[in-house]
Amino acid sequence: MKILNARRINTIVSMIGYLFVWAPIVVLAIFSFNASAYGVKWESLTIKWYVDLFHTPEIMQAVLRSLLIASITTIFATAIGTLAGYGLYKYKFAGRRFLRMSVLLPITVPYVIMAGALLVYFTRIVHIPLGYPAIIIAHISFSAPLAVFVTLGRMQRINWSLEEASVDLGANTLTTWRKVTIPLLLPAIFASAVLIFPWSFNDFTVTYFVAGVGTTTLPLYLFSMLEYSLKPVLINAISLIFIIMPILLIMLIYLSKARTKHGS
């Protein structure tokens, strides 16, 4: 009887947790189809806000900017991070532990501080122009560590004897990399990219500090809409199309992959 109670309380608390995490997003999604422009009262069903969205050039520009930044960041951060993860796993060298700890630094120090430090560094010391260059450099600093740890986490599960076999059979380093190592690393590369792209696309704090004037990404645009309370319903529509849908898609891809792997 007592077990049943403990179990029931456990289940109830967990359900409250799920409800708390999901309710605001689900309600936001539902209200993006609400005809009332300002109210929180439900009026009637409409898709007018979605049509509006595609007819607002500033929003479309912001989306394109965010996509561009996220794409470049993903390519560079994934490359640097995956290579580093591979090297950290494969080779023993002086300063290995220190490097591992250092990679953690940008994600453990509060974002405001790292982003503020980058702003001061870019404007006062190295004179990197704010805007695209600054945003992309800053994004790589924050997201390459994600790729490092994703790769490190997956390294144990990879069968490295294939790489040794390739060397034993006389392939040179470059061929081994091209034909064996990179294919073996592909799942790690994919997992890193899937994590980094949305991170960069959705980042607000880091972009806010180093964007300067004119490089308004989607999160910055959303922020200004919120600050000046412009068209709240449009915000709902933006959220659903550009932020929640892609994430659900990634989740579906992930789950279907997990299932096929389980089946085979």
Partner 1 sequence: MVAAKNDMKRKTHLHLLPTVGPITIWIFFFVFAPVAVIVAISFFATGSGGEILPRLSLENYRLLLFGGSEYPRAVIRSILYALVTNLICLGIGYPMAFWISKYGGKFKALLLFLVIVPSWSCYIVRIYALKQLVGYPGILNDFLLNLGLISSPINILYTPAAVVLGLIYIWLPFMVLPIYASLEGINPSLLEASLDLGATPQWQFLTITLPLTKGGIFGGAILTFIPALGDWLVPLLIGGNRVWMAGNLIEHYLVVRGKIAMASSMAVILTATVVLLIYVFIKLGGEESMERIV
- For residues 130-189, which are near partner 1 according to CB under 8 A? 137-138, 140-141, 144, 148-149, 152-153
Residue with tokens 């430090």: 117
Question: Residue 256 interacts with partner 1 (CB under 8 A)?
Answer: no
Q: Which is nearer to partner 1, 56 or 239 (CB)?
A: 239
DSSP state of 17: H
**Mask for 20-59, x = binds partner 1 (CB under 8 A):** xxxxxx-xx--x-------xxx------------------
DSSP state of 37: S
Which two three-digit tokens encode residue 72? 């470049």
Q: Which is nearer to partner 1, 23 or 60 (CB)?
A: 23
d(CA 188, CA 151): 5
Q: Single out the residue of 47, 186, 226, 253 in contact with partner 1 (rule: CB under 8 A).
A: 226
Total number of residues that touch partner 1 (CB under 8 A):
91
Q: Which is nearer to partner 1, 2 or 55 (CB)?
A: 2
Cα separations in angstroms, 129 against 28, 173, 211, 234: 37, 39, 9, 32
Q: Which is nearer to partner 1, 93 or 228 (CB)?
A: 93
**Mask for 99-118, x = binds partner 1 (CB under 8 A):** x--xxxxx-xxxxxxx-xxx
Q: Single out the residue of 81, 163, 200, 215 in contact with partner 1 (rule: CB under 8 A).
A: 81
Helices 111-120 and 132-155 cross at an angle (nearest 10°) of 130
Q: Are 103 and 80 in contact (CB under 8 A)?
A: no
Of residues 157, 158, 156, 188, the one with CA closest to residue 79: 188
Q: Are 237 and 32 in contact (CB under 8 A)?
A: yes
Q: Which is nearer to partner 1, 90 or 178 (CB)?
A: 90
Q: What's the gap between Cα 194 and its chain centre? A: 7
- Kindly identify the residues of this chain, within the stretch 189-218, that bind partner 1 according to CB under 8 A: 198-199, 201-205, 209, 218
Q: Which is nearer to partner 1, 92 or 157 (CB)?
A: 92
Dihedral angle sign, alpha carbons of residues 111, 117, 120, 124: negative
Query: Least distance in Å: CB of 10 to partner 1?
Result: 5
Question: Residue 87 interacts with partner 1 (CB under 8 A)?
Answer: yes
d(CA 235, CA 210): 24
Q: Which stretch binds partner 1 (CB under 8 A): 53-61, 67-75, 158-166, 237-245?
A: 237-245
Question: Residue 3 interacts with partner 1 (CB under 8 A)?
Answer: yes
Amino acid at 108: T
Question: Residue 10 interacts with partner 1 (CB under 8 A)?
Answer: yes
Q: Are 215 and 65 in contact (CB under 8 A)?
A: yes
Question: Residue 125 interacts with partner 1 (CB under 8 A)?
Answer: yes
Q: Which is nearer to partner 1, 79 or 184 (CB)?
A: 79
